[in-house]
């Protein structure tokens, strides 16, 4: 302890920067970031004549209750229209309906009536999962199994010929793939039904950052004293419950020693760990010495962390109608009631849900942004740019029924699964886990609150926020939470004019 503790933060993503922004107790603060840049899963890159968001894309629910919205507004990073009262009140429930066109795999545009009425069926079914929150006795363990059972019951009651019914099933199957992107999972069969609706949506029409999402971490970083963040500093091991002394200072003892890959070591009273759940899954056994208590290790094992990637394609000329914000893809012979293909090499591209157009992403130029989740997405990461580009050119030619469609001029993709310091995209509550595992993950160490050296290791990051996991606002709030935990310990109360 002491009156001015030393605090280390592992990572420099939004959770870490949020913690740094809020910490008033620290006498000495350092962030150790493995990568050559801050921002973590917020990553804006130049592409085409504009920008591409390789990580977080939208502010989900931009309204007063969203701290990312409040910060971004204060920093002047948003389009003025995003802050309008009217936009803040939109209740999209996380599923905004964008003007869209839906291509069938036979090269035809599907009837908007059929597509919209089928989407409505899916969205009603999704909403009906709300009743299972905190219910005992569930009709199925997973969201996917529940939805499929409901669809199997409904399908015989649909009007229309066999072709129309099959098409409806195919559209529903596309809805499942979109839902996999939203949850960041391979299959909705992996997502637990009971806790599914513990994830909370905020009001507001999802908006983007006209100058790039990275503007947010950049601003937070520049508000910190110079030298606070050390880049290219991957942490190898966190030693806790120790008695470490600095060379030449035998007086002061520290319980924590953080050892980096390059051999450097840092002593501290407290360390806030913000590394992604994907990294913890791979590395927690040797990352912490002594190892984590069993309850926390169990939470790390059983919570879900899957992959959602983006593929940006730049075209010489747009082939799409500029009014559409979403180009959707439906594989007409698929159905949620049939077994999905496991031949990744032959079929990976069928998991792509379609593309968001440049309209939705101002200043992008003639760019489409495709989304793809799951094992197919992980397989895509192993292919070369040229292979992905040629496969998607073939797919787009088939969908548009235009064999002459010019190939994209360039491609840029995210590869979040093979990124060593992320190992996936974001967390979800998997079958076999619940919100209590999220809380267990967030619990500081040592577990014994009466330990004379409390709060040695604290945990932040999107995966530690029980209702806003998988988002930037969840990450930011988790960082603030852990900073306040330390502020409270040292009685560092709010200043009269609070920081954001």
Is 5 a binding residue for ligand 6YU by CB under 6 A? The answer is no
b/e per residue 181-213 (b: at least 16 CB within 10 A): bbbbbbbbbbbbbbbbbbbebbbbbbbbbebbb
Is 274 a binding residue for ligand 6YU by CB under 6 A? The answer is yes
Token readout for 320 is 């799409």
Which of 72, 151, 169, 235 binds ligand 6YU (CB under 6 A)? It is 235
**DSSP secondary structure, 139-181, as one string:** S-SBHHHHHHHHHHHHGGG--S-HHHHHHHHHHHHHHHHHHHH
Is 422 a binding residue for ligand 6YU by CB under 6 A? The answer is yes
Where are the extended beta strands (E) located within 219-374?
229-230, 235-239, 244-246, 249-254, 256-260, 265-268, 270-273, 288-289, 304-306, 308-314, 326-330, 354-356, 367-373
Is 192 a binding residue for ligand 6YU by CB under 6 A? The answer is no
- Report the nearest approach of ligand 6YU to the CB of residue 160 (Å): 30
| Part of the chain binding ligand 6YU (CB under 6 A), chosen from 27-35, 103-111, 358-366, 435-443 | 27-35
Which of 47, 69, 132, 196 binds ligand 6YU (CB under 6 A)? It is 196
Neighbours of 393 (CB within 10 A): 16
Q: Could you tell me which residues are beta bridge partners of residue 260?
A: 235
- Report the nearest approach of ligand 6YU to the CB of residue 67 (Å): 11
Which of 25, 29, 32, 101 binds ligand 6YU (CB under 6 A)? It is 32
Long-range Cβ contact pairs of 75-83 (< 8 A, separation 24 or more): 75/215, 75/216, 75/219, 77/209, 77/210, 77/211, 77/215, 77/216, 77/219, 78/207, 78/209, 78/210, 79/207, 79/210, 79/362, 82/205, 82/207
- Is 103 or 416 the residue whose CB approaches ligand 6YU more closely? 416
- Is 168 or 465 the residue whose CB approaches ligand 6YU more closely? 465
Tell me the helices (H) and strands (E) count for the chain, helix number first.
Answer: 14, 21
Tell me how far apart the alpha carbons of residues 311 and 414 are, in angstroms, rounded to a whole number. Answer: 7
- Report the nearest approach of ligand 6YU to the CB of residue 92 (Å): 12
Is 275 a binding residue for ligand 6YU by CB under 6 A? The answer is yes
Query: Contact at 8 Å (CB) between 368 and 315?
Result: yes
Chain length of the chain: 500
The residue whose two tokens read 């954001």 is 500
Token readout for 293 is 């208590």
Which of 146, 279, 288, 480 binds ligand 6YU (CB under 6 A)? It is 279
- Report the nearest approach of ligand 6YU to the CB of residue 147 (Å): 13
Is 14 a binding residue for ligand 6YU by CB under 6 A? The answer is yes
Q: Which residues contact 95 (CB under 8 A, 6 or more apart)?
A: 123, 126
Query: Contact at 8 Å (CB) between 282 and 423?
Result: yes
Is 466 a binding residue for ligand 6YU by CB under 6 A? The answer is no
Which of 183, 187, 433, 434 binds ligand 6YU (CB under 6 A)? It is 183
- Report the nearest approach of ligand 6YU to the CB of residue 262 (Å): 11
Is 355 a binding residue for ligand 6YU by CB under 6 A? The answer is no
Is 203 a binding residue for ligand 6YU by CB under 6 A? The answer is no
Query: Contact at 8 Å (CB) between 298 and 443?
Result: no
Is 293 a binding residue for ligand 6YU by CB under 6 A? The answer is no
Q: Which of 229, 287, 296, 288 is nearest to 421 (CA)?
A: 287
- Report the nearest approach of ligand 6YU to the CB of residue 280 (Å): 9
- Report the nearest approach of ligand 6YU to the CB of residue 57 (Å): 4
| Part of the chain binding ligand 6YU (CB under 6 A), chosen from 296-304, 345-353, 392-400, 414-422 | 414-422
Token readout for 100 is 């869209």
- Report the nearest approach of ligand 6YU to the CB of residue 446 (Å): 22
Binding residues among 57-96 for ligand 6YU as defined by CB under 6 A: 57-58, 60
Number of residues that bind ligand 6YU (CB under 6 A): 43
Is 173 a binding residue for ligand 6YU by CB under 6 A? The answer is no
- Report the nearest approach of ligand 6YU to the CB of residue 364 (Å): 15
Which of 187, 357, 471, 487 binds ligand 6YU (CB under 6 A)? It is 471
Is 257 a binding residue for ligand 6YU by CB under 6 A? The answer is no
Query: Contact at 8 Å (CB) between 297 and 284?
Result: yes
- Is 51 or 170 the residue whose CB approaches ligand 6YU more closely? 51
Tell me the three state secondary structure of residue 398: helix
| Part of the chain binding ligand 6YU (CB under 6 A), chosen from 156-164, 321-329, 436-444, 469-477 | 469-477
- Is 104 or 437 the residue whose CB approaches ligand 6YU more closely? 437
- The answer to whether the bond into 416 is cis (omega within 30° of 0) is no
Residues that bind ligand 6YU (CB under 6 A): 10-16, 32-35, 40-42, 55-58, 60, 182-183, 196, 199, 234-235, 274-276, 279, 308, 310, 414, 416, 421-422, 425-426, 461-462, 470-472, 475
């Amino acid at each position: 302890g002491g009156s001015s503790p030393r605090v280390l933060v592992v990572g420099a993503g939004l959770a870490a920067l949020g913690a740094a922004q809020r910490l008033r107790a620290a006498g000495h603060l350092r962030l150790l970031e493995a990568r050559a840049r801050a921002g973590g899963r917020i990553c804006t890159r130049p592409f085409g004549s504009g920008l591409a968001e390789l990580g977080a894309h939208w502010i989900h629910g931009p309204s007063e209750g969203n701290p990312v919205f409040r910060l971004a507004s204060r920093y002047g990073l948003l389009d003025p229209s995003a802050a309008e009262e009217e936009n803040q009140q939109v209740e999209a429930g996380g599923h905004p309906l964008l003007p869209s066109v839906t291509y069938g795999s036979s090269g035809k545009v599907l009837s908007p009536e059929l597509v919209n009425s089928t989407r409505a069926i899916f969205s009603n079914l999704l909403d009906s999962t709300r009743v299972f929150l905190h219910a005992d006795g569930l009709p199925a363990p997973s969201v996917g199994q529940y939805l499929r059972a409901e669809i199997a019951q409904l399908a015989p009651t649909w009007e229309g010929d066999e072709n129309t019914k099959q098409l409806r099933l195919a559209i529903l199957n596309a809805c499942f793939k979109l839902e996999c992107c939203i949850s960041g999972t391979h299959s909705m069969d992996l997502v637990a039904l009971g806790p599914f609706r513990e994830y909370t949506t905020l009001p507001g029409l999802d908006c983007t950052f006209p100058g790039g999402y990275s503007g947010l971490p950049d601003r937070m970083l520049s508000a910190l004293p110079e030298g606070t963040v050390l880049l290219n500093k991957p942490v190898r091991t966190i030693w806790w419950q120790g008695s470490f002394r600095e060379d030449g200072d035998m007086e002061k003892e520290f319980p924590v020693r953080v050892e980096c890959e390059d051999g450097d070591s840092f002593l501290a009273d407290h360390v806030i760990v913000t590394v992604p759940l994907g990294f913890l899954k791979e590395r927690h056994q040797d990352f912490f010495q002594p190892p984590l208590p069993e309850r926390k290790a169990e939470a790390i094992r059983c919570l879900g962390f899957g992959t959602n990637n983006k593929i940006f394609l730049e075209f010489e000329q747009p082939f799409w109608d500029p009014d559409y914000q979403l180009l959707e893809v439906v594989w007409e012979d698929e159905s949620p009631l049939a077994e999905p293909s496991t031949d990744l090499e032959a079929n990976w591209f069928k998991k792509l849900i379609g593309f968001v157009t440049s309209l939705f992403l101002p200043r992008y130029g003639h760019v489409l942004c495709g989304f793809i989740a799951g094992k197919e997405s992980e397989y895509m990461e192993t292919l070369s740019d040229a292979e992905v580009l040629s496969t998607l050119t073939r797919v787009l030619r088939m969908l548009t029924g235009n064999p002459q469609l010019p190939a994209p001029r360039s491609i840029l993709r995210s590869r979040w699964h093979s990124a060593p310091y992320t190992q996936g995209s974001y967390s979800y509550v998997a079958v076999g886990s619940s919100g209590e595992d999220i809380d267990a993950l967030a619990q500081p160490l040592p577990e014994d609150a009466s330990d004379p050296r409390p709060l040695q290791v604290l945990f932040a990051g999107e995966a530690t926020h029980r209702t806003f996991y998988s988002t930037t606002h969840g990450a930011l709030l988790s960082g603030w939470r852990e900073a306040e935990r330390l502020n409270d310990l040292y009685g560092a109360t709010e200043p009269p004019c609070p920081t954001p």
